Structure 1
Amino acid sequence: MHKTLSKFIAVLAGLTLGMSLAASAAEPVAKGKTATAVFAGGCFWCMEPPYDALPGVIATTSGYAGGQKTNPTYEQVSAGDTGHIEVIQIAYDPQQVSYEKLLEVFWRNVDPLDRGGQFCDRGSTYTTAIFVQSQEQRKLAEQSKAAIEKQLGKTVVTAIRAAATFYPAEDYHQDYYRTNPLRYKYYRYSCGRDQRLEQLWGKKN
């Protein structure tokens, strides 16, 4: 899941425009060229692959957001007392891929009915959320959430939250599905993620 250091620095330069690393996800950046989206979909290892494969996505970074502690570690977040949840930050070109498409991919990779975590990962750190970076993103997120509720005929518990400081996770988490493919596949299968997604959304084309 983690990016190499050189790739991460390149992405960060495009995202922050000189801002500090911790504040890199506060707002969309690079007017008209690069924007950011932040989603919480349970284990961040599993949220990177669908976005990395999407044309128009420049980079994905796993991390933490929504809590009070500055520069949290994985161990601290996992303990559940920082207020942070696992998220991914997506840098994308809005000329190539719309925020609506990012939302579509998000919903079909989470269980929006589960308020206690995601799949085998339980607890508040694995809950789902959309961290909106602008009023336009909020409007689109609310519209998409309403559409999903209508489609499923049940209450969607995914929170729509204001942008929060984004903290990148440790290097060993970035691109985990690429750097540790066997462990990743075993984890994903044993967690029952794909089985539940198929129940909710049907088989992938």
Structure 2
Amino acid sequence: MANEQRAIFAGGCFWCMVHPFDTLPGIISITSGYTGGHVENPTYRQVTSGETGHTEAVEIIYDPDKITYKELVDIYWRQTDPTDAGGQFADRGDSYRPVIFFVNEHQKQVAEESKKELENSGKFSEPIVTQIEEAKPFYPAEEYHQDYYKKNAAHYKRYSIGSGRAGFISENWGN
């Protein structure tokens, strides 16, 4: 496809970051993986050890004629707790930190403006701590992590609820 663009978002466990974007018009593919660190081709075990500097993230390939980067960022916010820099929900540590990784200056500007809008909205009493960082190499995760919510629907649903993510999203963002 001639008009494909790339977005990379980290919002805790990458399993939970695929489903919200997966069925939207204009989404071409979503890959769970790792980015932001210093180890090439890391494994899940290496990343979760905290030794690689990587963060679990999703790489979204999309058609900007059907869905804009701004729309993707708006959806991203509604999947996360933007006030928690130490991880997301039950997942703690740097490998689960919330980050918008920009791939160009346009994305950086959109992300920064969107963050300011959220800060000024008064929606949260705590500061918005989600980082906005330049994208680094993205490494796809092992195959069993791809489309996890489809392959292991029951476990994914239990995890989403048990981790506190589903309740937080419902309470703070609604449906």
Length-normalised TM-score, structure 1: 0.82
Post-superposition CA distance 1:12-68 (Å, at most 9, x none): xx6xxxxxxxxxxxxxxx5xx000000001000000011112111111000000000
Q: What residue in structure 2 maps to residue 104 of structure 1? A: 74
Q: What residue in structure 1 maps to residue 163 of structure 2? A: 191
- Counterparts of 1:130-141 in structure 2 under 5 Å? 130-141=100-111
**1:65 counterpart = 2:26:** no
Q: What residue in structure 2 maps to residue 200 of structure 1? A: 172
- Structure-2 separation of matches of 1:163 and 1:136: 13
| Paired letter, 1:74 | Y
Q: What residue in structure 1 maps to residue 116 of structure 2? A: 146
- Structure-1 separation of matches of 2:90 and 2:120: 26
Q: What residue in structure 2 maps to residue 56 of structure 1? A: 26
- Structure-2 separation of matches of 1:53 and 1:111: 22
Deviation >4 Å, runs of 4+:
none
- Counterparts of 1:26-45 in structure 2 under 5 Å? 30=2, 33-45=3-15
Q: What residue in structure 1 maps to residue 47 of structure 2? A: 77
Select the structure of larger CA radius of gyration: 1
| Paired letter, 1:131 | F
**1:173 counterpart = 2:145:** yes
Q: CA deviation at 1:110?
A: 0.4
Query: Gapped runs of 5+ residues in structure 2?
Result: none
- Structure-2 separation of matches of 1:199 and 1:182: 22
Percent of aligned pairs with the same amino acid: 48
Aligned residues: 173
Q: CA RMSD in A?
A: 1.0
Post-superposition CA distance 1:125-145 (Å, at most 9, x none): 100001101000000000000
Post-superposition CA distance 1:132-171 (Å, at most 9, x none): 0100000000000001111225411000000110000000
| Secondary structure at 1:130 match in 2 | strand
Q: CA deviation at 1:186?
A: 1.1
- Structure-2 separation of matches of 1:120 and 1:199: 17
Q: CA deviation at 1:189?
A: 1.1
Q: CA deviation at 1:200?
A: 2.0
- Structure-2 separation of matches of 1:187 and 1:46: 9
| Secondary structure at 1:136 match in 2 | helix
Q: What residue in structure 2 maps to residue 122 of structure 1? A: 92
- Structure-1 separation of matches of 2:25 and 2:78: 17
| Paired letter, 1:178 | K
Length-normalised TM-score, structure 2: 0.96
- Structure-2 separation of matches of 1:160 and 1:120: 22
- Counterparts of 1:84-103 in structure 2 under 5 Å? 84-103=54-73
